[in-house]
Amino acid sequence: MKIAVIGTGYVGLVTAVGLAEFGHNVIGTDKMADKIEKISRGEIPIYEPGLEVLLKSSLKKGNLAFSADVNETIQASDIIFVCVGTPQGDDGSADMSQIEEVSRFIAENLNGYKVVVEKSTVPVKTSSWIKRTISLYKKSDMDFDVASNPEFLREGSAVSDFLNPDRIIIGVETERARDILVKIYERAKDRLLITNIDTAELIKHASNSFLAMKISYINLMANLCEKTDANIEQVAKGMGLDPRIGSLFLKAGLGFGGSCFPKDLKALIKIGEDLGVNMNLLKETDRINAERARIFLEKIKKALWILKDKRIAVLGLAFKPDTDDIREGPSIRLITDLLDEGAVLRLYDPEAQNNMKELFPEDKARITYCRTPYEAAAGVNALLICTEWREFFELDLKKIKGLMANPIIVDGRNIYNPDDVRKIGFEYYSVGRK
């Protein structure tokens, strides 16, 4: 069986490489010819640990190829994984125009039975639209099936998440499609959950929104801790010891960002409201997250009072460690707010600087991008931690203190032990703990 993967964004590229690693014959395709050319040479357009090595090895083995000819790729394949973007539309709903376009391409190139697999995160009921679109535009009477196989990989650990998933959800409505997908994932057959398509689609949105809710919940508790003598890390630890709650995704901080949680939460709210379901629980989750940046800014003001012309170092621009992705990252809101207040910024991130420069270009008077955290700390009135990159845990804080004009750290990710940093002589503010 030949597999096509349409779309070479985060999910598409990892899916193509991962399915090739499972031993299948895969062709990845994308309209963006320059991107395809780069990937075909073994270069990845994103920073994702381990991905480039696997890409190169499958290209060399010969069971993975890339083509900018979407039509030809569809014709040559039996199974088509649809991995195009479903970005947020103006009203919060997912913009499905790329999925619709791909459905038409598939219809026009339907030269035999094919299984069309939704891999991108899509609203429940999308498969009905895909089916309708293919039926409307197909030129042959060839048969096809639509299936849902949502992806649960995380940026930064995408390769291992794909190759060793906790679960593989397969939403199907025919035996034929089911047998094909079960075969594709034979290597992980102990982790398969087979459902109908609506269920599979909803599992993805429900999972992301639940995790987002867990994060907003712990951030709400952090707000309470800040008004009392409670310590959020111990609260999270105590809660997490209950296996019904679990310890993961209980880290309080600047809130959730990235290309998934904020968008998927809003999309699910819209889906629910369109169906007449009260979605206030998730609206609150979103609201709590939106206020994280303001609460962090208040802490910076508590330390520095007036921010105009204050020199401030920001360590960490990516929305989370091990990625160069800044989309919906708390650092964007923070930098915007600090610039509005008239602060002078020294920014550092090991991987995300180039992406951030596109949003906030270097500007001698206001924004300097630095090559190391130490360079960023030079002469600043305060240092902010925005992303918990491993290297920030290991900084020589005595050296940092010596470089700064005022030894003040505002830590949005709770990466340091308050007693340790205070012993060095820092004034230290963090989240939900004294």
Active-site residue list:
260
Minimum distance of ligand UGA from residue 249's CB (angstroms): 4
What's the Cα-to-Cα distance from 104 to each of 109, 145, 198, 209, 272, rounded to whole Å?
A: 9, 15, 21, 30, 27
- Region binding ligand UGA by CB under 6 A among candidate stretches 88-96, 100-108, 249-257, 266-274: 249-257
> Which one of residues 95, 249, 295, 424 is an interface residue with ligand UGA (CB under 6 A)?
249
Fill in the per-residue mask, 146 to 165: x = in contact with ligand UGA (CB under 6 A), - = not in contact: -----xxxxx----------
How many H helices and E strands in the chain? 19, 14
Closest CA to 14 of 330, 45, 2, 218: 45
> Which one of residues 138, 178, 251, 333 is an interface residue with ligand UGA (CB under 6 A)?
251
CB within 8 Å of 90: residues ≥ 6 apart: none
Q: Is 205 in the site for ligand UGA (CB under 6 A)?
A: no
Helix axes 126-137, 197-226, angle to 10 degrees: 140
Binding residues among 110-139 for ligand UGA as defined by CB under 6 A = 121
Residue 396 CB neighbour total at 10 angstroms: 10
For residue 394, give both structure tokens.
């290991």
Minimum distance of ligand UGA from residue 4's CB (angstroms): 20
Closest CA to 400 of 374, 427, 381: 374
Q: Is 270 in the site for ligand UGA (CB under 6 A)?
A: no
Minimum distance of ligand UGA from residue 245's CB (angstroms): 13
Pick the closer one to ligand UGA by CB: 60 or 154. Answer: 154
Q: Is 373 in the site for ligand UGA (CB under 6 A)?
A: no
Q: Is 411 in the site for ligand UGA (CB under 6 A)?
A: no
Pick the closer one to ligand UGA by CB: 330 or 407. Answer: 330
For residue 270, give both structure tokens.
């819209």
Minimum distance of ligand UGA from residue 67's CB (angstroms): 25
> Which one of residues 24, 270, 320, 333 is an interface residue with ligand UGA (CB under 6 A)?
320
Q: Is 310 in the site for ligand UGA (CB under 6 A)?
A: no
For residue 374, give both structure tokens.
């130490």
> Which one of residues 258, 272, 412, 432 is an interface residue with ligand UGA (CB under 6 A)?
258
Closest CA to 428 of 415, 412, 409, 414: 409
Q: How many residues make contact with ligand UGA (CB under 6 A)?
A: 21
C-alpha 70 chain-centroid distance: 26
Q: State how far the Cα of 318 lies from the Cα of 350, in Å rounded to an integer.
A: 9
Q: Is 250 in the site for ligand UGA (CB under 6 A)?
A: yes
> Which one of residues 65, 202, 260, 332 is an interface residue with ligand UGA (CB under 6 A)?
260
Q: Which residues pair with 419 in a beta bridge?
A: none
Q: State how far the Cα of 323 lies from the Cα of 293, in Å rounded to an integer.
A: 21
Closest CA to 116 of 33, 26, 6, 34: 6
Q: Is 18 in the site for ligand UGA (CB under 6 A)?
A: no
Pick the closer one to ligand UGA by CB: 235 or 380. Answer: 235
Q: Is 185 in the site for ligand UGA (CB under 6 A)?
A: no
Q: Is 262 in the site for ligand UGA (CB under 6 A)?
A: no
Q: Is 81 in the site for ligand UGA (CB under 6 A)?
A: no
Cα dihedral 184/190/196/198 (nearest 10): -90
Which residues here bind ligand UGA, judged by CB under 6 A? 121, 151-155, 208, 211, 215, 249-251, 253, 255-258, 260-261, 319-320
